């Protein structure tokens, strides 16, 4: 093969294992070796799961040797952000006090991915509580952008984005409430998917279930990071099959009724603030490619974009905290506490004029976007 195993797409790795061209053990070992060689520089993977990963790989190879039907993600390695439950591994949220908070079982979508053949090989770095646009914590230190030490890897799923970008894994599992998948993917030159609320179940892995503030239930979702769009689709298809007890979960089919052709596409080149020229050129180039392919491309304006941000901050300010939340400096001292001291006033200020009912106004803005 001209490309080493660690450089292959998840789809291709699954095919190679299914067709017995390589073993799942070879695939996992290649990525564990890549982690060993690259991670000391990047600091994206916080803990490797060598033993369980190799046991899972051997079980996959044995099943194929017995002639069992191969599963869609056979032998594909993945990393998992440290605020997602993986059985036998700590769900730290990037906080030193939770370094020993070992999950009893997988989060629902991690269990679904395992059932489809994916193999967790490592946990990944995140800022405390998943709050900040850079990935660093007092517990794990800072993650570096694999392309440039002068640039941020983004956050809060920066560990997974950097791991995927540097070939440590083809798939990373993160989450996103305010860009935590999309921003690090952009910073590291990879792809991410923030699904709609209810497509992938939240939580799981803890007994009793851990409560989450209403704002996080409403705005934060689980999602994949990959180097290829086809890998995002493959992973997503196997992340949303069980509710996990999540009341927001909706078992919506992945594929619906085909959209009548030609498909209309709205392109927004002026979001209200002057975009970076290279970004504006990229958007126009994408629009031209779609037009060349037969799509109907129409210039449009983003409905109430500034107000969207204000309503987001109102919801987070009102319903984004746990009752009796202790002072931040007692839970996450140091750099995060300094960040919070500066950020909290600007968070409140960004809420703009209060809405009579922010949920109602949010729904009205969403209808405008759907239209």
Residue 148 makes CB contacts below 8 A (sequence gap 6+) with: none
Q: Compute the average pLDDT of residues 40-61.
A: 98
Is residue 183 located within the same domain as residue 150? yes
Which of 74, 108, 180, 194 does the annotation list as catalytic? Answer: 180
Contact 11, 118 (CB under 8 A): no
Any domain includes 102: yes
Output DSSP code: residue 116: T
CA dihedral 289, 290, 291, 295 (to 10 degrees): 160
Is residue 317 located within the same domain as residue 184? no
Tell whether the model's pLDDT for residue 342 goes beyond 70. yes
Output DSSP code: residue 260: P
Output DSSP code: residue 119: E
Across the chain, what does the average pLDDT equal?
A: 93
Any domain includes 146: yes
Is residue 274 located within the same domain as residue 332? no
State the pLDDT at residue 171: 98
Where residue 72 falls (left for φ over 0; alpha for ψ -120 to 50; beta otherwise) is alpha
pLDDT tens-place string over residues 86-96: 999 999 999 99
Is residue 53 located within the same domain as residue 31? yes
State the pLDDT at residue 202: 86
Is residue 87 located within the same domain as residue 145? yes
Element (H, E) at 141: strand 141-142
pLDDT tens-place string over residues 195-206: 999 999 987 666
Higher pLDDT, 319 or 2: 319
- Based on the residue annotation, tell me whether 353 is a catalytic residue of this protein: no
Which of 81, 89, 108, 166 does the annotation list as catalytic? Answer: 81
The boundaries of the domain holding residue 340 are 305-370
Token pair listed for 343: 């950020």
Q: What secondary structure does DSSP assign to 149-211, as a single string?
A: TTS---SSSHHHHHHHHTTS-SEEEEEESSSTTHHHHHHHT-EE--PPTTSS----S-SSPPP
Token pair listed for 184: 């690090």
Any domain includes 323: yes
Higher pLDDT, 26 or 271: 26
**CB-count exposure of residue 179 (10 Å: 0-12, 13-18, 19+):** middle
Q: Compute the average pLDDT of residues 278-288.
A: 94
Which of 156, 157, 166, 194 does the annotation list as catalytic? Answer: 156
State the pLDDT at residue 2: 54
Is residue 48 located within the same domain as residue 91? yes
Q: Which of 15-19, 330-334, 335-339 has the highest mean pLDDT?
A: 15-19
Given 299, 315, 345, the domain boundary residue is: 299
CA-to-CA distance for 334 and 292, rounded, in angstroms?
Answer: 53
Q: Tokens 């299914």 map to which residue? A: 18
Any domain includes 126: yes
Q: Work out the percent of the chain whose per-residue pLDDT is above 70.
A: 98
Q: Work out the percent of the chain whose per-residue pLDDT is above 90.
A: 79
Output DSSP code: residue 123: E
Any domain includes 248: no
Is residue 321 located within the same domain as residue 212? no
Is residue 294 located within the same domain as residue 226? no
CA-to-CA distance for 242 and 272, rounded, in angstroms?
Answer: 40
For residue 208, cis peptide bond before it (omega within 30 degrees of 0): yes
- The residue among 192, 170, 74 whose CA lies nearest residue 122 is 170
CA distances from 22 to 1, 15, 154, 191 (A): 11, 9, 34, 26
Any domain includes 243: no
Is residue 189 located within the same domain as residue 274? no
Given 299, 324, 346, the domain boundary residue is: 299
- The residue among 134, 144, 122, 146 whose CA lies nearest residue 49 is 122
Is residue 95 located within the same domain as residue 21? yes
CA-to-CA distance for 187 and 153, rounded, in angstroms?
Answer: 5
Any domain includes 255: no
- Based on the residue annotation, tell me whether 194 is a catalytic residue of this protein: no
pLDDT tens-place string over residues 162-217: 999 999 999 999 999 999 999 999 999 999 999 999 999 987 666 556 678 899 89
Domain total of the chain: 3
Is residue 226 located within the same domain as residue 164? yes
| 190-222 residues labelled b (16+ CB within 10 A) or e (exposed) | bbbbbbeebbbbbbbbeeeeeeebebbbbbbbb
State the pLDDT at residue 204: 66
Lowest mean pLDDT among 138-142, 200-204, 366-370: 200-204
State the pLDDT at residue 206: 60
Tell whether the model's pLDDT for residue 218 goes beyond 50. yes
**CB-count exposure of residue 355 (10 Å: 0-12, 13-18, 19+):** middle
State the pLDDT at residue 1: 44
State the pLDDT at residue 323: 79
Residue 314 makes CB contacts below 8 A (sequence gap 6+) with: 351, 352, 354, 355, 358
Q: Compute the average pLDDT of residues 316-327.
A: 84
Is residue 293 located within the same domain as residue 312? no
CA-to-CA distance for 111 and 132, rounded, in angstroms?
Answer: 28
- Based on the residue annotation, tell me whether 81 is a catalytic residue of this protein: yes
Contact 215, 319 (CB under 8 A): yes
State the pLDDT at residue 208: 56
Lowest mean pLDDT among 67-71, 136-140, 269-273: 269-273
Tell whether the model's pLDDT for residue 246 goes beyond 80. yes
Any domain includes 345: yes
């Amino acid at each position: 093969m001209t490309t080493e195993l660690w450089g292959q797409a998840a789809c291709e790795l699954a095919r190679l294992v299914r067709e017995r061209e390589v073993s799942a053990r070879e695939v996992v070992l290649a990525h564990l070796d890549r982690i060993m060689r690259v991670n000391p520089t990047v600091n994206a993977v916080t803990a490797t799961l060598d033993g369980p990963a190799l046991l899972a790989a051997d079980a996959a190879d044995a099943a194929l040797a017995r002639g069992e039907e191969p599963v869609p993600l056979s032998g594909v390695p993945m990393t998992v952000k440290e605020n997602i439950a993986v059985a036998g591994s700590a769900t730290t949220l990037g906080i030193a006090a939770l370094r020993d908070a070992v999950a009893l079982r997988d989060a629902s979508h991690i269990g679904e991915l395992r059932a489809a053949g994916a193999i967790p090989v490592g946990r990944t770095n995140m800022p405390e509580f998943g709050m900040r646009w850079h990935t660093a914590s007092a517990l794990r230190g800072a993650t570096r952008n694999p392309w440039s030490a002068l640039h941020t890897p983004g956050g809060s799923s920066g560990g997974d984005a950097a791991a995927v970008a540097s070939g440590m894994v083809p798939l990373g599992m993160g989450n996103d409430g305010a860009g935590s998948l999309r921003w690090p993917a952009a910073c590291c030159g990879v792809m991410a998917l923030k699904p709609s609320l209810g497509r992938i179940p939240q939580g799981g892995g803890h007994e009793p279930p851990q409560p989450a503030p209403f704002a996080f239930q409403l705005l934060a979702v689980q999602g994949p990071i990959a180097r290829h769009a086809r890998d995002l689709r493959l992973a997503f298809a196997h992340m949303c099959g069980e509710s996990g007890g999540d009341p927001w979960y909706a078992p919506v089919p992945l594929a619906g009724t085909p959209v009548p052709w030609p498909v209309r596409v709205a392109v927004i080149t002026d979001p209200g603030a002057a975009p970076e020229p290279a970004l504006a050129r990229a958007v126009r180039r994408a629009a031209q490619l779609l037009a060349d392919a037969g799509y109907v491309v129409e210039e449009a304006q983003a409905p109430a974009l500034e107000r969207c941000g204000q309503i987001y901050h109102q919801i987070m300010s009102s319903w984004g905290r746990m009752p009796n939340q202790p002072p931040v400096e007692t839970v996450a001292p140091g750099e995060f506490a300094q960040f919070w001291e500066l950020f909290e006033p600007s968070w409140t200020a960004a809420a703009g004029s209060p809405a009579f009912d922010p949920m109602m106004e949010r729904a009205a803005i969403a209808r405008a976007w759907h239209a």
